[in-house]
Amino acid sequence: MRIVVLGGAGIIGQPIVRDLTSDVEEIVVADMDLDAAKSAAAGLGKSVIARQVDVTDEDALDKVLQGADACINSVNYYFNLQVMKGCLRKRVPYIDLGGLFHTTRDQLDLHQPFEEAGVTAILGLGSCPGVANVQAGVLAAKLDTVESVKIYNGGTLDEGESLAWGYSIDTILDEISKPAMIFRDGEFREMPALGEEERYLFLDPIGYANTHLSLHSEVATIPLSFADKGIRECFFKITFFGYSEAALRKIQFLAQLGFASAEPVEVKGAKMAPRDMLIALLKQNAAVAIPPKNKGFKDVVTEVRGTKNGKESLWRMDTWATPSERMNISGGKLMIAIPPAVVARWLASRKLDRPGVWAPEVAISGALAESFFEELSLRGIRSDLTHKEALSLPSR
């Protein structure tokens, strides 16, 4: 079994690779930065190989994918389509960590070519999207009709004001600056970024926390997957991307001023994208700042409301994780890294062989969903179910 991890030297790529080392014969840590790839592979054994690759170079991408049994794409979502097309050319099953709604919708258009080629692709298989979607599929299967799917991504926040980030800073800046997408009254709608703040009760030690809308991939697929059950509403909300509220408001203010823009601005005869300058300064800040203090607890909640046998019914599923001492990462990073590592094994072994392009709530259902959560629990990621049903009162 040979699994390629693109972006394998990154924040999430590294723990994906570490999980795969337990039983995968060959793992390719492929990254633009060869030195970083070698560093990520160091000490993990002869089964882990470092390779340099620019995913925008078709020949280089094809070379690294040659002979692979599965590919986990953990590079920035900007390159999802290029990587998918490379996997299609080389007939390699594909997983990514999400496409921030719009890219995911474009990726769904590749369903027919993947189906005809006999290749499986699963979009958005981290925690959110990913775990949240699989939860939605499990809960929707318990209902005759689905009225709404609401997703809440909660975590213990930084106790200081560190501006360090827990995943791609480009993605975070997009989530902060781009309009959120929701599905309401049976229609997709744009909403202000970070809008519709809501105080929500997560598991301890998070408890009540402020959440807000964010552009995300769950909303791109779930309304399509459950259209036959009459879904009318779907949204995704998160707790400040792991930042303290004070730190998040600082970055939000800079985004409002235009510093999240990737469009070049001319200043004194020189052109530079404001985002490039902001990221450079954030990296300097992160290098000298006091590390963030964070308990590292994560709780991903999916609520599905609908009817069963004519009665109103609400199901809630929490999947939660604490920091992993074994992998030396937070619960949040653990919950992003483990799902693609688990499912890549299934794709490589053909335990999961469903040609086409699929959302997690469709691809991982029934017995596979049960196995999925069992595999997560073996790695310290637990799940709980809560059910509320309307009483049928006797008539007088």
**Whether residues 171 and 183 fall in one domain:** yes
Instruction: Read off the pTM.
Output: 0.93
Burial zone of 160 (CB within 10 Å; 0-12 exposed, 13-18 middle, 19+ buried): middle
**DSSP letter, residue 320:** E
Token pair belonging to 308: 């069963």
**Whether residues 148 and 258 fall in one domain:** yes
- pLDDT value of position 377: 98
**Whether residues 348 and 293 fall in one domain:** no
CA-to-CA dists, residue 269 to 143, 257, 272, 273, 279, angstroms: 62, 21, 10, 13, 21
**Whether residues 166 and 305 fall in one domain:** yes
> Within 10 Å of residue 384's Cβ, how many Cβ atoms?
12
Q: Is residue 148 part of a domain?
A: yes
**Whether residues 150 and 79 fall in one domain:** no
* Regions of the chain where pLDDT drops below 70: 286-294, 391-396
**Whether residues 165 and 285 fall in one domain:** yes
Token pair belonging to 34: 């060869």
Domain span at 101 = 2-127+330-380
- Cα angle for residues 274, 129, 197 (degrees, 5° grid): 65
- One-letter identity of residue 262: A
**DSSP letter, residue 215:** -
3-class DSSP state of 352? coil
> Within 10 Å of residue 126's Cβ, how many Cβ atoms?
27
- pLDDT value of position 292: 55
**Whether residues 201 and 82 fall in one domain:** no
**Whether residues 271 and 158 fall in one domain:** yes
- pLDDT value of position 87: 98
Q: Is residue 395 part of a domain?
A: no
- Cα angle for residues 369, 167, 54 (degrees, 5° grid): 95
Omega prior to 129 cis, within 30 of 0? yes
Closest by alpha carbon to 5, among 41, 57, 39? 41
**Whether residues 187 and 281 fall in one domain:** yes
**Whether residues 152 and 261 fall in one domain:** yes
- pLDDT value of position 316: 98
* 149 neighbors 57 (Cβ within 8 angstroms): no
Q: How many domains are there within the chain? A: 2
**Whether residues 90 and 149 fall in one domain:** no
**Whether residues 144 and 266 fall in one domain:** yes
- pLDDT value of position 163: 82
Omega prior to 292 cis, within 30 of 0? no
For residue 206, the domain's CATH number is: 3.30.360.10
279, 295, 321: which is the final residue of a domain? 321
Q: Is residue 242 part of a domain?
A: yes
Maximum pairwise Cα distance, the chain? 83
300, 321, 342: which is the final residue of a domain? 321
Q: What is the residue whose two structure tokens read 């060869």?
A: 34
Q: Is residue 396 part of a domain?
A: no
Closest by alpha carbon to 385, among 394, 396, 395, 373? 373
For residue 60, the domain's CATH number is: 3.40.50.720
